[in-house]
Amino acid sequence: MEFSALTELKELRLSNNYFDVFVNSDFWEGMTNLKTVSLSYNLIPRQLPKSLFNHPSIEDIRCRSNQFTNSLPEEMSTSLKHLDVGGNVLTGTLPSSIYNLTDIEYLRLDTNELGGNLSSAIGSLTSLTTLLLRDNNFTGGFPEEIKNLVDLERLTIDGGFTGNVPEEVCDFGLLTFSIDCPGPQCNGSCCDDCYE
């Protein structure tokens, strides 16, 4: 059976299967109602399928803990609300398209090899409730605009950032908050020690 023939399929959950095959770029074609794709906890090698990220109907992508080794795609559909690519070997910097995901609520990028700066445009993603950045190779100042993300409940910060975490972050009522060492300075009431 061809998956692309499943035109009414809304959720494709293939996690926890130890699949080690590459997903072809045309795999999603024809699945015009697809909302959720979960490929987490497999052994899928090579590159993240770009066609998955710019599919116009997909809102939820979960590709955690595979062996993806490329960078995040330059083009992403603005319909994304949930993106989890943590626990891979992704490299490069964050594409500018990630800052256009104005409806995104969950962004998990932790435990990769992503680097470069975090743009001040992160402050425009005001729907975010979860932002996980730790265990990467980010550099540069931690953007003050993070204080615009007042709905954040979970925030983890990579130790490569410098500067200060705005004190307003402590007013968010975070359920999870951690900073990798050495990390940016945090002087608010919610700040504890950094994590080695």
Q: Does residue 163 or residue 36 have the better pLDDT?
A: 36
Phi, psi of 169 (to 5 degrees): -60, -35
Q: What angle do CA 58, 62, 64 make, to 5 degrees?
A: 155
The pLDDT of residue 29 is: 79
d(CA 90, CA 77): 19
3-state secondary structure (DSSP) of residue 62: strand
pLDDT confidence tier of residue 51, bands split at 50, 70 and 90: confident
Tell me which amino acid residue 118 is: L
Q: Is the pLDDT of residue 194 over 70?
A: no
pLDDT confidence tier of residue 22, bands split at 50, 70 and 90: low
Q: Does residue 100 or residue 2 have the better pLDDT?
A: 100
Tell me which amino acid residue 134 is: R
Instruction: Provide the residue ranges of all domains of the chain, joining segments of one domain with +.
Output: 91-196
3-state secondary structure (DSSP) of residue 66: coil
Q: Is the pLDDT of residue 38 over 70?
A: yes
**What is the reported pTM?**
0.92
The pLDDT of residue 131 is: 96
The pLDDT of residue 79 is: 96
The pLDDT of residue 133 is: 95
The pLDDT of residue 132 is: 96
Contact (Cβ atoms closer than 8 angstroms) between residue 44 and residue 69 = no
- Would you list the DSSP string of 79-126? T--EEE--SS---SPPPGGGGG-TT--EEE--SS--EEPPPGGGGG-T
CATH number of the domain located at residue range(s) 91-196 in this protein: 3.80.10.10
